């Protein structure tokens, strides 16, 4: 066979191989993205609806992924799915891989000066509405190819299972597997409206809170009934009670401003109310030590440039 014909056949086969390999690589990445969405949503049907796929297509693509890795990735029941050990390992690696692929594509397609893609994070309710949302709005105005998925909650969300890039949290970092970026000092303030104090009197000692209607925060499944103080230089906790319990810090603040009871709030949430006189700090001489405000994220997560830029913007504004 003439050499030119051999080269032509080889070249055609090479191009066909390149196309097949590129399509295979894209299929694996798409299936990994689907797998992560199933893990985040806790079900195949919900993930399929969000990605516009039929139940049969979701099952087929998940089966292809499990066949490719030679492992069962999801434990299925009639009500829900959960990750197997192999599935947890793949989810962790897939997030890094997809983030790096997305970052590479954006830098090549759009250039190094432009960012694109989604950012998913959570923040406390009250702080989120008052301080974070304006930062997000300004960020989106500057970067038209970026989208934001903001989860406002006063509970601690599992970053990995929910597929979040980071979270803004009050208090000490309970999960030592996470990394933290400090956002400056913060303290919690016992406060009430002038109207409430006029009607019920102002407590002069933390123990007097037992005779007051206190507004209690719920963090996930935990009720924040033990309020911390310093008495004679020592930690002193008081068990409070009240007729109002809420998992929304903004609602707790609203009730306090309306004179519904005494609340324990972050100073960053009520600084404007204290300045205007809508709320008054009480028991300030017994205030407990300052607590942290921080950005937390999984150490195994590759943070795309768009995520790092938003984190920098938040740190600059709040720090």
Q: Could you write out the DSSP letters of every residue in 80-140?
A: -EEE-HHHHHHHHHHHHHHHHHHHHHHHHHH-TT---EEEEEEE-HHHIIIIIHHHHHHHH
Q: What is the mean pLDDT of residues 204-219?
A: 92
Beta-carbon count within 10 A of 87 CB: 22
**CB-based burial, 276-303: b 16+ in 10 Å, e otherwise:** eebbbebbeebbbeebebbbbbbeebbb
9: confidence class by pLDDT, cuts 50, 70, 90: very low
Checking if the pLDDT of 114 tops 80, the result is: no
Q: Are 190 and 262 contacting, i.e. CB atoms less than 8 angstroms apart? A: yes
Average pLDDT, rounded, for the chain: 80
The pLDDT of residue 106: 60
Q: Which residue has the higher pLDDT, 145 or 18?
A: 145
Q: What is the mean pLDDT of residues 253-272?
A: 92
Q: What is the pTM of this model?
A: 0.62
Q: How far is CA 249 from the centre of its chain?
A: 16
pLDDT digits (tens, 9 = 90+) for 268-311: 889 899 999 999 999 988 887 677 788 888 876 667 888 889 99
What percent of the chain has pLDDT above 90? Answer: 27
Q: What is the mean pLDDT of residues 61-79?
A: 77
Q: What is the mean pLDDT of residues 173-188?
A: 76
Domains of the chain: 3-98 (1.10.10.10), 115-179+295-318 (3.40.190.10), 188-289 (3.40.190.290)
- Looking at the chain, how many residues does it have? 319
Checking if the pLDDT of 192 tops 90, the result is: yes
């Amino acid at each position: 066979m003439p050499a030119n014909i051999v080269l032509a056949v080889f070249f055609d086969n090479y191009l066909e191989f390149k196309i097949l390999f590129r399509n295979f690589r894209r299929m694996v990445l798409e299936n990994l993205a689907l797998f992560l969405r199933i893990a985040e949503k806790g079900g195949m049907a919900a993930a399929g609806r969000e990605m516009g796929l039929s139940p049969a297509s979701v099952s087929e693509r998940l089966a292809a992924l499990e066949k490719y890795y030679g492992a069962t990735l999801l434990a299925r029941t009639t009500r829900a799915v959960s990750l197997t050990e192999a599935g947890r390992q793949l989810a962790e690696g897939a997030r890094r891989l997809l983030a790096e692929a997305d970052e590479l594509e954006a830098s090549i397609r759009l250039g190094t000066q432009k960012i694109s893609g989604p950012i998913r994070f959570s923040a406390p309710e009250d702080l989120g509405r008052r301080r974070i949302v304006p930062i997000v709005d300004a960020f989106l105005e500057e970067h038209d190819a970026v989208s934001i998925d903001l989860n406002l909650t006063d509970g601690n969300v599992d970053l990995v299972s929910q597929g979040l890039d980071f979270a803004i949290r009050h208090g000490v970092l309970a999960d030592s597997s996470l990394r933290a970026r400090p956002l400056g000092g913060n303290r919690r303030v016992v406060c009430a409206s002038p109207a409430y104090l006029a009607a019920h009197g102002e407590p002069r000692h933390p123990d007097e809170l037992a005779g007051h209607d206190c507004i209690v925060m719920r963090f996930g499944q935990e009720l924040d009934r033990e309020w911390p103080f310093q008495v004679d230089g020592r930690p002193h906790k008081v068990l409070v009670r009240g007729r109002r319990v809420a998992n929304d810090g903004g609602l707790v603040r609203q009730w306090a401003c309306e004179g519904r009871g005494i609340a324990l709030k972050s100073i960053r949430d009520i600084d404007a109310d204290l300045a205007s006189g809508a709320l008054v700090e009480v028991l300030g001489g017994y205030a407990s030590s300052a607590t942290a405000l921080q950005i937390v994220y999984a150490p195994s997560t590759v943070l795309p440039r768009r995520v790092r830029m938003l984190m920098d913007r938040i740190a600059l504004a709040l720090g």
